[in-house]
Structure 1
Amino acid sequence: MAIGVLGVSVGLAVGGLVLLAVLTWALHRNVDTEALRTADAVALLAAEDALPDPLPVAGGQVRVQVVDAQGRVRAASIDADRLVPMVRPERVDRHARQGITVAGERMGLVGPVRVVAVPAGTDADPLTVLVARSLVDVRQSTHVVRTILLVSFPLLVAVLAAVAWRVVGATLRPVEALRRGAEEITGRNGAGRLPVPGSQDEIHRLAVTLNDMLDRLRAGRDRQRAFVADAAHELRSPLTNIRTELEVAQRLGDRTDWPAVSADLLADTERLGRLVDDLLLLARLDEAPPARATGPVELGALLTEVAGRQLARPVEVVPPPEPLWTVGDPDELRRVLTNLVDNAVRHARTRVVLAAAPDGSAYHRVTVTDDGPGIPAADRERVFGRFTRLDPARDRDAGGAGLGLAIVRELVRRAGGQVDLGDAEPPPGLRVRVLLPALTAEPDPT
C-alpha cells in the first residue's frame, strides 16, 4: 500500500508542476494577445497618419509608444516616457512582430513587463509600435496557485492514504480470513474448510476453488489411509498364517507333516505374492498417466487364450463372427479378462461364458457371464472399490483380496473403454460387459 500511495503522490506532484507550467504559459499567452491587439490598433492609426496624442489605452498597467527608425518617440500613452523608448532600439526587430520581457523599472512599473513590438508606418517612414503590459497579475495568479498546491498537496496525499488504507484493508480482509482459515486447517491436520466471503467476486471464487481442492485432497487422504489400512490387514493375514504354521511345526518337532506344512506355506506365499503384485500394479496405475497403449490386439484370440488357461472349470468361448481388433496393451487386456474370468469361475455354479461382438462402429463388446448368485444392483458400483468384499466373513482364500475389479476398471480406462455389471440372461447370474475401442482397419500382418 505504501508503494501505491508513493506512486500516487509522485503522480500528483508531477501533475501539479505540469498544471503550474500550463497556467503560466496560458497567462503569458493571454498577455501577449492583449498587447498585440492594442499594438495592431495603434499600427492601424499610424498607417492612416492619425495618431492621437496621447495614445488612448485601457488600464494603468499598460504603456504604449510609437518609435521611429532613429529611436525617437513619436507618440506615447499618457503614462509612457516621451523621451526614452521602453526597449533599446538594438533589441527590436523592425521588420517582425516579437515579444520581449524586460524589467518594469525602465517604464515606472513594478516587476517584469511584457513588451510586444509591431512594425507600422510606411516604407518611407518606418515606425514601431511598442506595447508594454505588466506581468504582476500573472505572477500573483501563479503564486496563488502555487500556494494552493503546496498547502493542499500534503492534505490530499493524507486523504488518499487514508482512503487507500481503508479500501485496501477492506479488499484484503477476505484474503486475511482465508489465510487464517488455512493456518487453522494446517493446525488441525487438514480438517475444516476455508471461509467463503459473501461477495460474488474473485476472492469468493478463489475460496470456493480452494475448498473444492481441500475436499479432493481430504478424500484422497482418506482413500490413502483406508488403502494402507486394508493393505496392512490383507498382508498381515498370510503372514500370520505362515507364522502359525511354523510355530506349530516347531512345537511338533519330528511329528510335523512337512509336506503338508510346505504346501500350506506355499499357498500363503503365493497369496501374499499375488496381493503384493496387485498393490504394486494399482500404485503404478495411480502414478502413470492414462495413455492408450500401442499394439493392435485381436479379441477372439485373446479370449481363447485366457479361457484355455482355466483349469478349475471349463470356460465356454463364443467366438466373434469375424476378427475383432482393438488397440491396447496385450498384457493389460489379458489381465482384465483373467481377473473377470477368475471371478466368474469362483462364483459360478456350472457355467462361464466368454464372448466378444461388435458394439456399434466405435467399440467392441466383451462379456463374461456366469450362473452364480450375481451382485445386487445397489452394490454394482461399490464392488469396483479397492478391498471391497460383499461378504466380509467369507474365506479370503476363496474370495481374494478385493482388488480384482478395481484393477479391471483402471486398466479398461487406460485402454479408452468402460466396464459395467448387469444381470445374466437368462438369470440367475452376473454379466460383466467391457467396451473397448474398435480398430476400424484390420492391421497389416507385415
Structure 2
Amino acid sequence: MTLGAVAVLASVLAVSCAGVVLLTEQALTADLDQAAALRARDVASLLPAGRLGTTVPGAGEESSFVQVIGPADQVVSASANVTGQGPVIPAPKDARQVTVTLDSSPLGSEPLRIVAVPVHLPSGPGWIYVGTSLVQLRTTMSTLILLFTTGLPLLMLIVAWTVWRTLGRALRPMEAIRAEASQIGHSDLARRVPVPPHNDEVGRLATTMNAMLDRLEASSRRQEQFIGDASHELRSPLTALRTQVGVALAHPDPEHTRDLLATIDQQTQRMAALIDSMLYLARTNRSPPGSLTDVDLDDLVLEEARRLRSIGGLRIHTAALAAARVRGSTVDLSRMLRNLGDNAHNHADSTITVALTTDNTTAELRIADDGSGIPPGDRERVFERFTRLDQARARSSSGGGTGLGLAIAQQIAHAHAGTITIDDGDRCRGAVFIIRLPLSAHHGP
C-alpha cells in the first residue's frame, strides 16, 4: 500500500512539476517578448520627430540591445553595445512582428531572444530588432528544475515514511485481532479479541467479532446443555425399560406379561415423542419452515379444539373465532397449536378457552386455561428446552411431557415472524398464551 501510494503520488507530482516548469518558462518568455515589443515601440516613437540618430539613446545595457534596420538591410541605428555590427538576423519576409531565439549573439555566447517589429522609416519600410539575453531566464528555470528534482525525492521519502507509519499504526490492532482470533478454538470460546480505544472501522470490527463470539459461546452452551438434557431425558425411560425387562427375564411370570408390554409401550411412546421433538428442533434450527402457503388459521384452531374435546375431561370454549388467513406452513402451525393445546389440557382444572381476533395486519390467538397459572418470574423460562415448572406431575407422551413443547411452539411462532407471550388469566387464575402472527396479503372476508 505504501509503494502504491508513493507511486501514484510521484506520478502525479512529476506531471504537475513538468507542467509548472513548462508554464513558468512560457510565462517568463512571454514577459520578455512583451517588454521587448514595448521597447521597440518606444524607439519607433522617436522616428517622426527626427530624434533618432545613429545611436539609440538609453539602450546600452549589457543584457539587451537595439538595432534599426533600413530598407536595404543596413543598420540605420543601434544601441551602443552593438555599434558597428551588422544585422543579427535577416529581415523577415512578412511585415508583421516575429520572435527568434538564437543560441549566441553579439553580446557573447549566451542565448538571445529577438523581437522584430516592423516600422516605417523616412527611407522606406524597415525593422526594429530588440534583443534580450536569456541567461537570467535559463538560470531561473534551472533553479526551479533543481528545486523540483531534489525536493520531489525528499517529499516522496517523507510521504512513504508517513504512510508506512500511519498504515502500520492502523493495521497493528488488526494484527492483534488476527493473532487472538487464531488462538480461539471450540473449547475456548470465552476468549475475546482486543478492542482498540478508538471507535473507528477497526474498533467496530473488533466489537462485531466479540458479539459474534458471544453468540457462538451462548449457542455452544445451549447445545451442550441440550445434549446433556437430552441424554438425561432419554436415559430415564431407557433405564426403566431395562429394569423392567431385566426383572421380567429374571422372574418370568406369564400373568404380568400384558402389564409389562403396556408399560414398555408407554415408555417407547414417550421416547419416540422426545426423539421426534429433538429432531424437529435440530431441523428447524438450520432451515426455514416448510412449504409456505396461505393458511386459514381459524380452521386449524377448530381442528385442535375438536382434538382436545376428543380427549375428554374438560370444557373447550371456541365461541370467539374470527376468520384469519396467515402465510406459513400448515404442518408447523398445527404442531404449534397441538403443543399449546396439550400444555393447556395438562394444566387446566375444568375449562380451556380459545379466542381468535384480527386487526388490519395481525392475527391474535389466545389460549387460556383455568389452572394454577404461571408465576411472572417463570414466563420466559418456560420456553426454554426441558423446562418443567411442575416436576411432580406425570409426563405424558405428548410434546408437553418432554419439556420441549413450548420451546417448539415459540420457535415456530418466530419462524413465522410472530411472537408468543404469556398473560394472566381471568381473576388472576390460570394462564393465557397469546400468539400474534402477521396476516397474509390475501387475507380478506
TM-score normalized by structure 2?
0.87
| 1:439 Cα deviation from its structure 2 partner | 7.0
- Specify the alignment match of 1:70 in structure 2: 72
- Specify the alignment match of 1:385 in structure 2: 384
Which range moved further: 307-316 or 268-277?
Answer: 307-316
* 1:144-223 correspondence runs (5 A): 144-186=143-185, 189-223=188-222
Amino acid at match of 2:80: I
Task: Note the alpha carbon deviations across 1:17-73, whole angstroms, 9 max, x for none.
Answer: 222222222222222122111112122323554323311215211121111232111
Report the Cα distance in structure 2 between the residues aligned to 1:249 and 1:50, rounded to whole angstroms: 150
Match of 2:80, SS state, is coil
C-alpha contact 2:60 2:81 (8 A) present in aligned 1: no
Match of 1:118, SS state, is strand
C-alpha spacing 1:353/1:440, structure 2 compared with 1 (3 Å): farther
- Specify the alignment match of 1:413 in structure 2: 414
Identity value in percent: 34
| 1:330 Cα deviation from its structure 2 partner | 3.5
Match of 1:46, SS state, is coil
| 1:312 Cα deviation from its structure 2 partner | 4.3
Which range moved further: 28-37 or 189-198?
Answer: 189-198
Task: Note the alpha carbon deviations across 1:301-348, whole angstroms, 9 max, x for none.
Answer: 544432332454334232335653332444333322221221222233
Report the Cα distance in structure 1 between the residues aligned to 2:79 and 2:440, rounded to whole angstroms: 109
Instruction: State whether structure 2 residue 5 is matched by structure 1 residue 4.
Output: yes
Report the Cα distance in structure 2 between the residues aligned to 1:335 and 1:127, rounded to whole angstroms: 114
- Specify the alignment match of 1:96 in structure 2: 96
- Specify the alignment match of 1:347 in structure 2: 347
| 1:113 Cα deviation from its structure 2 partner | 0.7
Task: Note the alpha carbon deviations across 1:255-292, whole angstroms, 9 max, x for none.
Answer: 69443333233222222221222123223332334799
C-alpha spacing 1:117/1:295, structure 2 compared with 1 (3 Å): same
Amino acid at match of 1:156: L
Amino acid at match of 1:80: V
C-alpha spacing 1:120/1:337, structure 2 compared with 1 (3 Å): same
Task: Note the alpha carbon deviations across 1:226-281, whole angstroms, 9 max, x for none.
Answer: 22332233233333334444444444457694433332332222222212221232
Match of 2:151, SS state, is helix
C-alpha spacing 1:431/1:144, structure 2 compared with 1 (3 Å): closer
Task: Note the alpha carbon deviations across 1:127-167, whole angstroms, 9 max, x for none.
Answer: 11111111111121122222233333332222222222222
C-alpha spacing 1:7/1:238, structure 2 compared with 1 (3 Å): same
- Specify the alignment match of 2:229 in structure 1: 230
Instruction: State whether structure 2 residue 88 is matched by structure 1 residue 86.
Output: yes
C-alpha spacing 1:346/1:187, structure 2 compared with 1 (3 Å): closer
C-alpha contact 1:96 1:118 (8 A) present in aligned 2: yes
C-alpha spacing 1:435/1:77, structure 2 compared with 1 (3 Å): closer
Which range moved further: 281-290 or 110-119?
Answer: 281-290
Amino acid at match of 2:171: L
Match of 2:84, SS state, is coil
C-alpha contact 2:69 2:87 (8 A) present in aligned 1: yes
- Specify the alignment match of 1:422 in structure 2: 423
C-alpha contact 1:352 1:371 (8 A) present in aligned 2: yes
- Specify the alignment match of 2:56 in structure 1: 55
Match of 1:101, SS state, is strand
User: Structure 1: any 5+ residue segments left out of the alignment?
Assistant: none
Which range moved further: 282-291 or 23-32?
Answer: 282-291
C-alpha spacing 1:374/1:11, structure 2 compared with 1 (3 Å): same
- Specify the alignment match of 1:38 in structure 2: 39
Instruction: State whether structure 2 residue 305 is matched by structure 1 residue 307.
Output: yes
* 1:424-443 correspondence runs (5 A): 424-437=425-438
C-alpha contact 1:114 1:134 (8 A) present in aligned 2: yes
Amino acid at match of 1:101: T
Instruction: State whether structure 2 residue 337 is matched by structure 1 residue 337.
Output: yes
Aligned CA-pair RMSD: 3.1
C-alpha contact 2:62 2:107 (8 A) present in aligned 1: no
- Specify the alignment match of 1:263 in structure 2: 262
Match of 2:82, SS state, is coil
C-alpha spacing 1:362/1:15, structure 2 compared with 1 (3 Å): closer
User: Structure 2: any 5+ residue segments left out of the alignment?
Assistant: none
Report the Cα distance in structure 1 between the residues aligned to 2:242 and 2:407, rounded to whole angstroms: 30
C-alpha contact 1:47 1:121 (8 A) present in aligned 2: no
TM-score normalized by structure 1?
0.87
Report the Cα distance in structure 2 between the residues aligned to 1:67 and 1:304, rounded to whole angstroms: 121
C-alpha spacing 1:169/1:331, structure 2 compared with 1 (3 Å): closer
Task: Note the alpha carbon deviations across 1:84-103, whole angstroms, 9 max, x for none.
Answer: 210023xx244111110113
Match of 2:77, SS state, is strand
Amino acid at match of 1:79: N
Amino acid at match of 2:75: V
